[in-house]
């Protein structure tokens, strides 16, 4: 039960991390598109004032910094997702091993029950034979 509960929690965390990763990827796409738009605008207005060009450069640096930070976050989340997936697979493997052991024990128990019933039947036959004598 604890293993199953742990698996559910691991799965929930995995889902949350996957969700966060998707949000970051969306933000990353938006930031990249904004950067492309900014760079296109910068190229189209090369002859505009030096101040305007400086402002665009500052925006470009800002977006580049945001993209780098989001890329780092995405890599970190991918690492966590991979780690949790590994943990989940290990837990699944442990559950399968436990199930296999339980099935073996159940089979042994059924065999012992059959042996018990057989012995009990033989005793009743022996008792019946004694009663006849």
Predicted confidence at residue 111, as pLDDT, reads: 95
Alpha-carbon distance of 64 to 49, in angstroms, equals 23
d(CA 69, CA 77): 12
Q: What is the pTM of this model?
A: 0.39
Q: pLDDT value at position 16? A: 92
In contact, 64 and 38? CB cutoff 8 Å = no
For position 128, what pLDDT does the model report? 81
Residue 11 has what pLDDT?
85
pLDDT string in tens for the chain (133-residue length): 566 677 788 888 889 999 999 999 999 999 999 988 878 776 666 656 666 768 888 999 999 999 999 999 999 999 999 998 898 888 888 989 999 999 999 999 999 999 999 999 898 888 887 877 6
Q: What angle do CA 22, 25, 30 make, to 5 degrees?
A: 130
């Amino acid at each position: 039960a604890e293993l199953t509960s742990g698996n559910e929690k691991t799965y929930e965390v995995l889902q949350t991390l996957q969700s966060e990763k998707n949000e970051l990827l969306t933000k990353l796409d938006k930031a990249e598109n904004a950067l492309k738009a900014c760079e296109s605008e910068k190229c189209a207005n090369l002859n505009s004032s030096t101040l305007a060009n400086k402002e665009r450069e500052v925006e470009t640096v800002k977006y580049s910094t945001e993209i780098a930070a989001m890329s780092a976050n995405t890599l970190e989340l991918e690492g966590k997702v991979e780690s949790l997936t590994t943990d989940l697979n290990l837990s699944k493997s442990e559950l399968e091993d436990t199930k296999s052991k339980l099935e073996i024990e159940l089979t042994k128990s059924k065999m012992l029950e059959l042996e018990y019933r057989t012995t009990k039947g033989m005793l009743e036959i022996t008792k019946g034979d004694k009663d006849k004598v």
